[in-house]
Every structure is written in C-alpha cells, then in structure tokens.
Amino acid sequence: MFMLQPIGFVRSPYQETAAIPKGLGAKHEAEGILEVLPEFEAGLTDIDGFSHLFVIWAFDRSDGFELIGRTPADNRPHGVFATRSPRRPNPLGLTVVELLRREKGSLHVRGLDMLDGTPILDIKPYLSTIPKESLRRGWLAEAEVTRS
C-alpha cells in the first residue's frame, strides 16, 4: 500500500461537474491556477520553459467505480480503462494543460477540466515523440464518424 499527498490544489472556474465540457468535440479552454504548496515550490524550478504540462490529480469527489459504463461521447458501453470516467478503481485524473505563466508557486494554465479545489498529485512536462499519424483514437474515432 502507498499513500499519496497533494502537492497543491486547482483553482478552477468549475464548481460543479455538470459545468465541465464533456463528450465529442468538448473544448477545454478554461483558465485557472495550479497552486503548488510552499514546501514543493522548489520543484517548479525550470518549468517555465515548457509550453504544456501533464497534471496528475485525484477525483476526490468521485464515489465508487464501474468497470463498464457509458460516456457522453457514445451510447455504447466501454471499459473504464478505455474512457476518462471519474468512476475508476483508483480515482486518478490526467490532464494536459497549457502553461501561460508562473508566479512563484502558482502556475497559470489553460485547458482545465477539474473542479475547483481538486488535489494535484504531480506535475510533469508534456513530452511526446509519437508522430501524430501513428496515434489511434480507438472507439472515439468510430463515435466521431457516426456523429458526423
């Protein structure tokens, strides 16, 4: 067993889950702040040079999990590990945000899809060497075609 502790908290315009854009074509353009706790601020050294960040966070208001469920993007059931559902065995979220600027322990970002007050577990620079043409979108690609 291992214990995770927040390194900070999200300041987001979203107070309710229903307000967060979901489903096909959802645009995550909300701006907010990743507030890193003072004892972890030194870990932000040199982060300013990155345009985008991975944010690992906790679905702290999610209750229970389901291994098969439906999503707003498709009416067919899918396995939880093939979705971004908050109802997961380990309630972890992963979001890519654009870093707008840093002010000490506050990272101003765009692209939030978390509720205000969400605990942040880790931040990593976004790096990818996978060419766009090699990426596959699984069942989402099929759902996008049928919705067109």
Apex 46 CA angle, 91 and 124, nearest 5: 20
Q: What's the one-letter identity of residue 69? A: G
Q: What is the CATH number of the domain that holds 65?
A: 2.40.30.70
Residue 136 lies in a domain: yes
Residue 56 lies in a domain: yes
Whether residue 1 is contained in a domain is answered as no
Q: CA 27 to CA 12: how far, in whole Å?
A: 15
- Residue 53 counted as domain residue: yes
How many domains, in total, are found in the chain? Answer: 1
Residue 24 to residue 90: CA distance in whole angstroms: 24
Domain assignment present for 2? no
pTM of the full structure: 0.88
Written as tens digits, the pLDDT of the chain (148 aa) is 888 999 999 999 999 998 998 877 788 899 999 999 999 999 999 999 999 999 999 999 999 999 999 988 888 999 999 988 899 999 999 999 999 999 999 999 999 999 999 999 999 999 888 888 887 878 877 887 777 6
On whether residue 71 sits in a domain, the answer given is: yes
